[in-house]
Every structure is written in C-alpha cells, then in structure tokens.
C-alpha cells in the first residue's frame, strides 16, 4: 500500500467536494477544479476528509494510488490558496510586460514574443520577475516551462529566463581555459 496514498486529505473550511460518477469536483474561494478518477481507484468523501484506496493489487493500481491522492491534494490546495511560479529575466535589455492577460517578452529576438494566458492563469510582472498564478498546479507549471523554453538560460553568462530558485551551472569559457597554458 502506498505510504502517500493511504494518508487522508483534510478538507478545509469553505471547500466543497463532490463525487459525480467518476468525476471529482472540488470548489473553493478561488474557483472549481475537476478530475476524472481512474477505474482502479476508489475515492470516498465525507465532510472533513477524502480517502483514496485502490481496487485489487495490480501494478497499475498501486502506481495510481499515491499519484491520484497527490493530485486531489493539489486540487484542494489550489482552490484555497492557489499556485504560483516565479520566473526571473537575466540579461541586459530583457523586459516583460502584461497587457490584457497577454505576456509580452522582449528578450533579444528581432520581435517581441507574445504569450496568451489561458482563462485560469494570470500573469504579473515586477522588476524583471514574472509571476504565473492559478489554481491548477499542472497548468501553472506547464505555462512556466513554456515561457522558460522561449529563452532558456545559457551556461556561459547565465542570460535567459530562469526559475527564481534555479541554479545555473556555469561553464568557464574559452578564455579561462587558456590562462594556465604556457606561452
């Protein structure tokens, strides 16, 4: 039995959980999320907690047990607190701005790059930092990865778009290698 999967999920005040057929609907102050529950997973709800268990002992059922429990927990946290990712622009002249829920990046290309936010996502820009906020953890992470991929940080100077807490492994470069060489 999964160590994560067998832990019950506490339902905070103001969060509604409804199991309609095989679709779990979680509603809270920030919005509503839906998740289709696989056949091999059983979800039981009451007023205070959600319990996840599996049917049978197949390898797939065991694999889904902890995963589905973690996804449901992320849904509950998303509708109460929300999820956020923080990206940082590193580079001279790199700029970002938000207009009408569209992120416009000026990052060294000949044209500005525009990214439309899905309905559930919002962008904020403060002093070279881009904040992606939303209630769906998977969607927030996917949009953050898509933005980072536009100009991933390079290893020599570290220029590009990186996560705020990301550490870029730097390379020495050609000039540093020849410093110790005999003349």
Confidence band for 173, pLDDT divided at 50, 70 and 90: confident
Given this model, what pLDDT does residue 113 score? Answer: 95
Given this model, what pLDDT does residue 159 score? Answer: 92
Instruction: Say yes or no to pLDDT of 134 above 90.
Output: yes
Tell me if residue 130 falls in helix, strand or coil: strand
- Domain 9-80 and domain 83-163, same fold? Reply is yes
Instruction: Say yes or no to pLDDT of 169 above 80.
Output: yes
Please name the residues in contact with 93: beta carbons below 8 A apart, sequence gap of 6 or more.
106, 108
Structure tokens at 13: 């005040």
Q: What angle do CA 50, 55, 60 make, to 5 degrees?
A: 100
Given this model, what pLDDT does residue 139 score? Answer: 95
Tell me if residue 60 falls in helix, strand or coil: helix
Tell me if residue 13 falls in helix, strand or coil: coil
Of the candidate ranges 36-40, 46-50, 149-153, 177-181, the one whose mean pLDDT is the lowest: 177-181
List, for residues 38-63, the tens digit of each pLDDT value: 988 999 998 899 999 998 888 888 88
What pTM value is reported for the model?
A: 0.85
Give CA–CA dist 113/37, Å, rounded: 37
Given this model, what pLDDT does residue 143 score? Answer: 96
Q: Would you identify the CATH topology of the domain 83-163?
A: Outer Surface Protein A; domain 3 (3.90.930)
| All structural domains of the chain with their residue ranges | 9-80, 83-163
Q: Would you identify the CATH topology of the domain 9-80?
A: Outer Surface Protein A; domain 3 (3.90.930)
């Amino acid at each position: 039995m999964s160590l994560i999967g067998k832990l019950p999920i506490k339902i905070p005040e103001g969060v509604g959980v409804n199991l309609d057929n095989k679709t779990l609907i979680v509603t809270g102050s920030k919005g509503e999320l839906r998740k289709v529950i696989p056949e091999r997973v059983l979800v039981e709800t009451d007023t205070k907690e959600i319990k996840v268990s599996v049917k049978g002992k197949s390898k797939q059922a065991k694999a889904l047990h902890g995963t589905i429990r973690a996804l449901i927990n992320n849904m509950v946290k998303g509708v109460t607190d929300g999820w956020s990712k923080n990206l940082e622009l590193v580079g001279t002249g790199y700029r970002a701005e938000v207009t009408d829920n569209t992120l416009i990046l000026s990052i060294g290309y000949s044209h500005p790059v525009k990214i439309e936010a899905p309905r559930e996502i919002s962008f904020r820009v403060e002093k070279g930092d881009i904040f992606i906020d939303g209630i769906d953890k998977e969607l927030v992470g996917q949009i953050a990865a898509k933005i980072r991929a536009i100009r991933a940080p390079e290893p020599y100077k570290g220029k590009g778009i990186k996560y705020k807490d990301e550490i870029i492994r730097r390379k020495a470069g050609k000039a540093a290698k020849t410093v110790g060489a005999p003349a």
